[in-house]
Each structure stands twice: as structure tokens, then as C-alpha cells.
Amino acid sequence: MKRDLLRLVDLARDECTALFALAAEIKAALRSGKPEHLLAGKTLAMIFEKPSLRTRVSFETGMFQLGGHAIYLAPWDIRLGERESVADVARNLARVVDMIVARTFRHEVLVELAAHATVPVINGLTDLHHPCQVLADLFTLVEQRRRLDDIRVAFVGDGNNLVHSWMEAAAVFRFTLAVACPAGYEPDAALLADCRARGARIEITRSVIDAARGADVLYTDVWTSMGQEDEAAERRAHFKDYQINDEALRHAAKDALVMHCLPAHRGEEITDAVIESRQSIVFDQAENRLHLQKALMAWLARESGT
């Protein structure tokens, strides 16, 4: 039976742990000059409705390093759901490629794509979830010798797709997630309830300091995501006090790590001093998108028999 990754809870805890181990192995092999061609002869279709730097480059490079080939499909190439139905696009691609990664606006489009594709489908980002980013973040924390069950993660900013995947990660690994956000920008209520029902410890607060107090990880994202450009001025007003800065860092644990999924708007959600500090592991996260996603593709191919 084929496996997809549409949201983080599609993976069990032991499967996540196995992914982290495989990612470490793949990363070490690459650095030793002996990359593992685990997907030789395989092809990845990359459907992108949104612009991308890290997601596109890491998947395309990763597939090449695994011995395979990636095909980038921009919004104007297929006009998903317009020129052809989502179901027909899925059926056509599944006849000629071995795996699909999609970066879409509506999460429902990704779900429909996976329902009709007979090959694994990976969520490269939707408006509701961003599992590849958070899996890479968790792998980065494991590299930093952080015990995932014991940590406190403070997220400062919008309760967006990234937060939704962090909430699901808290349900899988049972760490504490504190989200500091303005009123009206909370995470999706149904997803929050679902994650809490799965055992996640999630706090929602208006105070950056309350969230940051004793935190092992301080995390943030841009105030205005793709597709929200018309709200930029309003969001800047609402989020002006929701910043990771020296004060927030002082309230966190002494060895707290600073994370950001990038791109960063320095001076808005994070100060330049903090993102450039010794506690920042922002670019380790960015690199680990490559290694974790390589592991994910190899694992999904193996599990699905493709």
C-alpha cells in the first residue's frame, strides 16, 4: 500500500525516529563524498502553486543526489484544477513518475491529488500544514542533542500552517508547545482540539514573555505569508509586539536555541542580532530540509514499493 505525507500525524513516532536516523546516515554519506543513490532511475514531479527557494531547491537537489530526476511544474505549466482536473493531473502523473511533491494553497487540493495518485504524494506546503519543515526542524533538534519529549517550544507569531504542524509534532512527541499570538490569529480551532485530544500539551497566550519563559526553543515565522500580501499593513500593526528579540531570549532557558523557517524579515518578527547570535540554528534548519526530505523520499518509496 502506498504511503503519503500530507500532515505530520501521517507518521507514527517510531516512523519519525526512523526518518531521523536515515537522514543522519544520508547526511554523513554525502559529507564523506559517498552519496547513496537510493532512488536511482526514479522521477519526482514537483507541482508548485507558490514561489519557493528552500522547498524547490532542496527537493530537486535531493532527488539528484539520490540518483533520480526531478521535474519542476510551475503554476502556469499545468494550472492545477483549471486546465485539467486535480484527479486527472494525479492519474496522468502517476503513470509516468514515481513520486509527487506539491506546494499548494488549499490543503484540499493536495488531499484530492493524493486520493487519485497511485504513487506517494508529499506535502511541500499548503495553507494548513507544513510537515516537511517541522520534520527537518525536529531532526535539527535531535542533532543538537535535545530530547524531544522534555523540551518547551515557544512559537511567537501567527497561528499558521507551520504552527499546525508543530502542534501535530507535539502530539507525536509530547513536548510542550506555547504559542504567543495576537487575538484573532490563533491556530485553527478544530486542529487544536484534535491535537490536544491526541495528548499534545499546547498553550495559547497573548504574552511573548509567558511563552518564552524557560523555553528550550524560540521559533518564529513571517507575519505575512504568501497569499496574504493584501493584509500586510494590518498584520504589521497587530504583530508589532510579537518579535523574538534580546528580551524574549533573556526569559528563555540559558541554552535556548533560536529557529526560523525562513525567509526572515529582520526587524519584524526577529531582530538581526538574535538571528545572527550563537544560539541561532536557522541555517542548520535550512540545510536539514535537504537531508530530511531525501530520507523521506527514500522511505516513502520503500514503504510504497515504488
Among all residues, which ones are annotated catalytic?
103, 130, 133, 221, 261, 289
Burial of 17 (0-12, 13-18, 19+ CB in 10 A): middle
Give me the DSSP letters along 169-215.
HHHHH--EEEEE--TT-PPPHHHHHHHHHTT-EEEEES-HHHHHTT-
- Residue 94's H or E segment, with its range, is helix 86-96
Q: How far, in Å, CA of 119 to CA of 47, rounded?
A: 14
DSSP strand E in the chain: where? 43-48, 69-73, 99-103, 121-125, 152-156, 176-180, 201-205, 217-220, 257-260
SS3 (DSSP) at 96: helix
Question: What are the Cα distances from residue 261, in Å, to 46, 91, 162, 238, 265?
Answer: 20, 32, 9, 21, 11
For residue 213, count CB atoms less than 10 angstroms from its CB and return exposed for 0-12, middle for 13-18, buried for 19 or more.
middle
Q: Which triple of cell numbers denotes residue 64?
A: 539528484
Rounded Cα distance between 153 and 151, Å, is 6
